[in-house]
Amino acid sequence: MVLPIYTYGLPVLRRRADEVTADSPDLQRLADDMIETMRGAHGIGLAAPQVGHSLRLVTVDLSVMDDAPDVPGADPSGALVLLNPEVAPHPAAEREEFEEGCLSIPDVREVVVRPDRLRLRWTGRDFATHELDAEGMLARVIQHEIDHLDGVLFTDRVSALRKRLLTRRLRMIARGETEAEYPIRTVAGDR
């Protein structure tokens, strides 16, 4: 089922998400719904807080990444589910600028500087522990989505000047004055 994506200004996006402690049919259904929602919105990553669930759960669509490695735990369609993901610095990482967007902040894109590589550890859908050195687009998406789990949005990582220039647009979104090509939930209700 496609879920509405929560937009900027809704409190769940600013809370640190809770650890996933046990498997359940509801958790597996949520992961499936998040994959369907992410793909329906043409996203490449989605965190559970973006669909109103304060859980440390992320989905990533590897099928749209040209440089995605063979990732343990990914399903044959390229969907990857990360439970309780943790990142550590990669010794060869360099800082890289890249323009990011976010399904929770429709029609806003800004340059964000992040490490181009990282070490990732997570629990898969099968509750097995996995590790991977990620780089390129996969590393960027993972960092962006883990930020969501910590209540951080990509707009928090832009320069002070760029953030000031975004203020009006962000206030409009926070008031529910926004549209998207996918279902969204705003302070003004569902659209």
> Is the alpha carbon torsion for 7, 61, 31, 149 positive or negative?
negative
- The residue type at 27: L
Active site residue 177: no
90-119 burial: b if 16+ Cβ within 10 Å, else e: beebeeeeeebebbbbbebebebebbbbbb
Name the nearest CA neighbour of 44 among 87, 79, 75.
79
Question: How far apart are the C-alpha atoms of 48 and 83, rounded to whole Å?
Answer: 10
| Annotated catalytic residue, options 100, 110, 135, 145 | 145
Q: What amino acid positions are annotated as catalytic residues?
A: 145
